[in-house]
Chains A and B, each alone.
Chain A
Amino acid sequence: MRWGMVIDTARCVGCHACTIACKAENESPADAFYAPVVEYEVGTYPEAHTEYLPSLCNHCEDAPCITACPSGALKRRDDGIVLADEDVCIGSRACMNACPYGAIHLFTGAEGEMLADGTRTLPTVQDRVARERHQVGTVSKCTYCAHRIDFGLENGLTPGIDPLATPACVVTCPAECRIFGDLEDDTSPISLYLERRGPSEVLRPDAETGAHTSYVG
């Protein structure tokens, strides 16, 4: 079993629903967004338009974050999911500088919304939730919603098909641009999609990470 995700950027409408669904599902700290949608403009006026690049942890086969972490807090499960163990993390941030995708986030304990001038607003309810869920001074990241996958498998559901067993960002996407499933199963949604759409590309191929998140479109 090797979980992976393919993102069809041609389908993305830039609604950021995945970002918000992820934040709600994982109760991530205020400044940490595990699934941001990156924007960029292409072309020149009047032919200019915005393109969207939904992003998240790439759950790399040769994950540089795991290599760099001195404490062994970052580990890859047998199914390919890379997890950060906040109970083990020492907060060296080596993983953050080793990850080419900017997918790892340090919980500094800062509360409130960051303002444009660098100051912050008052704490919010979400800050309190994040403090209960996460440890200050440690890193956290996208887990491919491993808790949902595990729950689904325990209850006979199929990740990538059954919503309760599928990452929140995938389930929420109104344009169905995220396709999730088992890369080693030829009948999984991701394998069938890749067979139909042709080969996918990974981000930062120069980093040679063996990313399990790839892109078409």
Chain B
Amino acid sequence: MSADTVIRTPEAYAPEARARHNGHRPENVFMDRWRLEPKTQRVWGVSHAIWFTLMGVGGGLFILARALDLSSRLGHWFGIPLVDWVSFVAISVGGLILIGDLGRPLRAWRAFVNIRTSAISWGAWADLVFLTLGGLLVLPALRLGSSQPFESLPWEAEATSGLGQTIEIVAMAAAVVVMVYAGGVLARPRAIPYWHSVNVPLQFLFSSAAISMALVLTMAAANDVPIESGDLWILIGFLAVLLVTIVAHLLTRTEAPGKRESLDRLLRGRYRGAFVGGVIVLGTIIPLVLAVVALAVDGTRDALAIVMLVLLVVAGFGLRLLTLRVGIFPPVKEVPGLFKP
């Protein structure tokens, strides 16, 4: 030991240790973390809710605009229907958000590998097929200045020929998968009881369909295309089924461990205002009432379409985010008398 060596007493270390710990005691994993109790999932959150929403809306928009034969009447950009642009951009941005959220984004191509069992892989393939075929389908309509460089392709953007219709049908089928698979990602495993229900993908599907329909109506209003009563009936139908699936989900298996805690948070706990007031009342029932009003009073349709769109987008995102936030794993072992919320 050299003469310069300073032997510090435990007391001398104390201030340094306190400074390192920022005045707080370290988390004691033995005491703080490993308790037999319901655990909330924390690995998926806002970015996944955005991803779910964008995928659903992108797929729904493409299907509805074509099924209702509205895509060519809702404006164009570079010759391609605006509604198709919005659809492709929504799905592309949703996909990029998902890739950005991965732990290893540069390996994103591997999401295509496990198509046999993984809902994420199904979705990745559906995204790819939809964007490829949807893009190819509208390509003949692409206008750059005064030229249409892909006009000679053997199909047309409106899908009037056999080949065009085939591409359109496959693209629409892929769009359906794009709308549904996010719910399937949550609903397939049994680990989180609130998610393990067919009602979750159904909620996501009909929420996406309602948002897409409201967007179609808003774009129609913006392009001076009259909003037909039939379109409003479709929106009313989507909202009614959405409401039924939400209520059905809230009323089934209410005492199952894990789901009990999820329902408690949604209906009585910290998310009550956002879920009951926001998602159910403002985001589903009010738009339903507004759609009925628009149906009855012709002159209100354009304005109400915008209001409904805003409400549905916010509530649709909220529905997905809250579904993620109340994903609760029940205790791995049931102990009678414990964990009543």
Contacts and interface: CB of A to CB of B under 8 A. Distances in A.
A106 interface: yes
B43 to A, nearest CB: 4
B114 A71 contact: yes
Nearest to A103: B332
B119 A100 contact: no
A38 B332 CA distance: 10
Contact of A115 (B24, B44, B103, B110): B24
Interface string A83-94: 000001111111
A108 to B, nearest CB: 8
Contact of B103 (A37, A90, A122): A90
Contacts of B26: 113-116, 121
Contacts of A102: 39, 329, 332
A42 interface: yes
Interface in B93-133: 102-105, 107-108, 110-114, 117-121, 124
A207 interface: yes
B111 A70 contact: yes
B32 A100 contact: no
A163 interface: no
Interface string A155-186: 00000000000000000000000000000000
Contacts of A39: 30, 34-36
B160 interface: no
A192 interface: no
A97 to B, nearest CB: 5
Nearest to A87: B107
B119 to A, nearest CB: 7
B191 A90 contact: no
Interface in A114-152: 114-117, 119, 121-122, 135-139
**What's the dominant secondary structure at chain B's contact region?**
loop
Interface stretch (B182-190, B207-215, B297-305): B182-190
B335 A40 contact: yes
Interface string A50-67: 000101000000001011
A69 interface: yes
Given A40-B35, A40-B335, A90 B108 contact: yes
Contacts of A204: 191, 330, 332-333
B104 A116 contact: no
Interface string B20-58: 111011110110111111010101100000000000000
B192 interface: yes
Contacts of A122: 20
Given A40-B35, A115-B21, A70 B332 contact: no
A114 to B, nearest CB: 4
A33 B30 CA distance: 11
A206 interface: yes
B330 A121 contact: no
A194 interface: no
A98 interface: yes
B104 A89 contact: yes
A79 interface: no
A90 B43 contact: no
A12 interface: no
Contacts of B30: 16, 37, 39
A43 to B, nearest CB: 9
B227 to A, nearest CB: 40
B318 interface: no
A113 to B, nearest CB: 5
Contacts of A37: 30, 34
A37 B36 CA distance: 10
B12 interface: no
B22 A64 contact: no
Contact of A90 (B37, B104, B193, B335): B104
B201 interface: no
A38 B107 contact: no
A151 to B, nearest CB: 29
A128 B288 CA distance: 57
B327 interface: yes
A121 B29 CA distance: 15
Which 7 A/B pairs are nearest by Cβ-Cβ distance?
A: A91-B103, A137-B103, A40-B36, A98-B189, A71-B110, A70-B120, A100-B191
Interface of A: 16, 33, 36-40, 42, 53, 55, 64, 66-73, 88-94, 96-102, 106, 113-117, 119, 121-122, 135-139, 203-204, 206-208
25 contacts: A33-B29, A38-B332, A53-B333, A68-B117, A68-B188, A69-B118, A70-B113, A70-B114, A71-B113, A71-B114, A73-B110, A90-B103, A90-B104, A92-B102, A93-B44, A93-B103, A94-B120, A99-B191, A100-B329, A102-B39, A114-B27, A115-B26, A122-B20, A203-B333, A206-B193
Given A37-B30, A39-B34, A97-B43, 20 more contacts: A33-B34, A64-B190, A67-B117, A70-B110, A70-B113, A70-B114, A70-B124, A88-B107, A89-B107, A90-B111, A92-B111, A93-B44, A98-B188, A100-B190, A102-B329, A113-B27, A115-B21, A121-B21, A136-B103, A207-B190
